[in-house]
Amino acid sequence: MTIDEKLELFYETAIEDATSQSTEMVEEYEKETREQQEEKKTAMKEKAETLFRMESEQLFHEKNRVISLAVKDVKKQILEEEKSFAAILFQLVEDKMQAYMQTDDYEKNLIKQIKNAKEFAGEDELTVYLNPSDSEKKERIEKETGQTLTISKTDFIGGVRAVIKSRNLLIDNSYLARLNEEKEAYTM
């Protein structure tokens, strides 16, 4: 083998060895790069999933807050409507009571209430109060019941109030008391 042939062989061997080493190095670099890429990809995916979960939870809480506020507003509106309806309803009741108080049945009812109070008082002293609006009925009712009546200084709409002092007892058959009881007990 000549020197040129030897040199050619050496050159080819060196090139093959260098190519082999270079290929090995490139493959090793590609392998490491792929591993790093996979690690980064996994980390980014986990970060994205965490961020998505946090944003979803935040949106869920925000949705619940908005719904809660809306429900509160609706309940407030319903309560206001109920109050408005109750005010209208009780105004109608008061108007009906005023109309009823102009009838003979109302006067008969006053007489019945007074007789019941007298019966309940028995021998005890009884003071019976009429509403100021019923003052024109006083004499007729006194004749019918045999009971002296006092016109109240306080308006209690209608009905009667009776006091048995010896028992420290108030019999309140006033329409104001009944109306207030109904207002307190009223629910929709």
Closest CA to 116 of 173, 180, 181, 177: 173
Q: Work out the angle between the directed axes of helices 104-121 and 138-145 (0-180°, nearest 10).
A: 50
Contact 112, 159 (CB under 8 A): no
Strand-pair category, 149-151 with 127-130? parallel
CA dist list (Å): 3 to 6, 10, 54, 56:
5, 10, 74, 77
Q: pLDDT > 70: what percent of the chain?
A: 100
CA dist list (Å): 160 to 7, 111, 129, 144, 163:
138, 9, 6, 15, 10
Residue 8: pLDDT band (50, 70, 90) is confident
More confident residue, 150 or 4: 150
Query: Which pLDDT score is estimated for 170?
Result: 94
Token couple for 124: 């005890």
State the amino acid at position 53 in one-letter form: R
The pTM of this model reads 0.62
pLDDT averaged over the chain? 92
Rounded Cα gap, residues 32 and 34, in angstroms: 5
pLDDT digits (tens, 9 = 90+) for 81-139: 999 999 999 999 999 999 999 999 999 999 999 999 999 999 999 999 999 999 999 99
State the amino acid at position 125 in one-letter form: E
pLDDT digits (tens, 9 = 90+) for 26-55: 889 999 999 999 999 999 999 999 999 999
Query: Which pLDDT score is estimated for 59?
Result: 95
Contact 101, 110 (CB under 8 A): no
